[in-house]
Amino acid sequence: MSFISTVEKIDDKVVLYKYAGEGLSSSAGDDFGIETPNQKRLCFLDVETTGKDRTGDEIIEIALKTILFDLESCSIVSIADTYESYNEPTIPIKEEAFLVNRITDEMVKGKSIDWNQVNSIIEKADVIVAHNASFDRAFIDGNSSVSPRKIWACSLEDIDWSGRNFSNGKQELLCFWHGFYYDSHRAMNDVDALIHLVTHPHYTEDHPIVELIKNAGKPYYKMKALKSPFLKKDTLKANNYKWDGGNKYWWKKLNFDEIEPEKDWLTESIYDDYFLGMVEEISLTDKYK
């Protein structure tokens, strides 16, 4: 287990502080003032849902918070465009979801999301950020007319947490390892904690949020191990391939410079000297769809 070096320790015990959004209150009005080329509008977003099914479940709570981040000073310049709301779904909240977020049917009764306001906030952002963005994006894209054409970034995938010596990318654990805890699995609490995590004052260089922004501007590539032999499935899985049940193939996310070495590996280890796979470029606006 890894903790950042600035975490307070007393008698071999780690001391965690509770974070409740300090320093992230909305600025007056929605105008950030004069922006520079070094500044990026990042909209951090989180949803709580009736369950884990991205096609059948529905949003019951949403939170968005936009920050203006300056890449030169590596600091938050302003905060605005904060929005949060409950939402009454057309289906009951599943017990598995309630056990996580403690949101009841009564709490959301009669409440609804103002999608015009959500669209307005998303439209003005350079990048939409979520932890495990493919989950949140599935729900937002299904309701927003703006989200499908915006660039999304994932603070789980677009930051190399393992390269920073953290063994797990779960948001709660990362926050613990950075010395703080929070009331998790409520939308705005998760948003505030995520902003605090990626802009944590421990970092004087190699800031997580800078890495996030940089990777948000890069497409990624999907290596499809088409026609791979069934007996090779464990080998593929061990090399971080995922199974696409709908299209019946194994696939892996790659950066551009990883494509040729991966082709060589597939040719030698999976296909017996003849490459049968396919590489697909995923554009910036299609990432995490």
Concatenating the DSSP letter of every residue in 158-185 gives SS-TGGGT-S---HHHHHHHTTEE---S
Give the rounded percent of residues in the chain with a pLDDT score beyond 90: 91
Confirm whether 1 is domain-assigned: no
Rounded to the nearest 10 degrees, how much is the dihedral formed by the CA atoms of 262, 268, 270, 276? 70
pTM of the entire predicted model: 0.91
CA 210 to chain centre: 15
- Of 216, 235, 255, the residue at which a domain comes to its end is 216
CATH number for 135: 3.30.420.10
Confirm whether 182 is domain-assigned: yes
Confirm whether 2 is domain-assigned: no
Residue 28 binned pLDDT confidence (cut-offs 50, 70, 90): very low
d(CA 276, CA 279): 10
Give the model's pLDDT for residue 1.
Answer: 56
Confirm whether 149 is domain-assigned: yes
197/268 same-domain check? no
148/190 same-domain check? yes
200/227 same-domain check? no
Dump the DSSP string for 181-205. E---SSHHHHHHHHHHHHT-TT-SS
d(CA 180, CA 7): 9
d(CA 140, CA 153): 14
User: What are the tokens at 24?
Assistant: 């992230």
Residue 11 binned pLDDT confidence (cut-offs 50, 70, 90): confident
DSSP letter (8 states) at residue 37: T
Token look-up 């791979």 returns 228
Domain tally for the chain? 2
Range of the domain at 202: 8-216
- Of 216, 248, 278, the residue at which a domain comes to its end is 216
> Tens of pLDDT along 66-118?
999 999 999 999 998 999 999 999 999 999 999 999 999 999 999 999 999 99
Is 202:5 a contact under the CB 8 Å cutoff?
Answer: yes
What does residue 67 show for φ and ψ, rounded to 5 degrees? -115, 150
d(CA 130, CA 281): 22
Give the model's pLDDT for residue 134.
Answer: 96
241/170 same-domain check? no
| End-to-end Cα distance, the chain | 32
Confirm whether 3 is domain-assigned: no
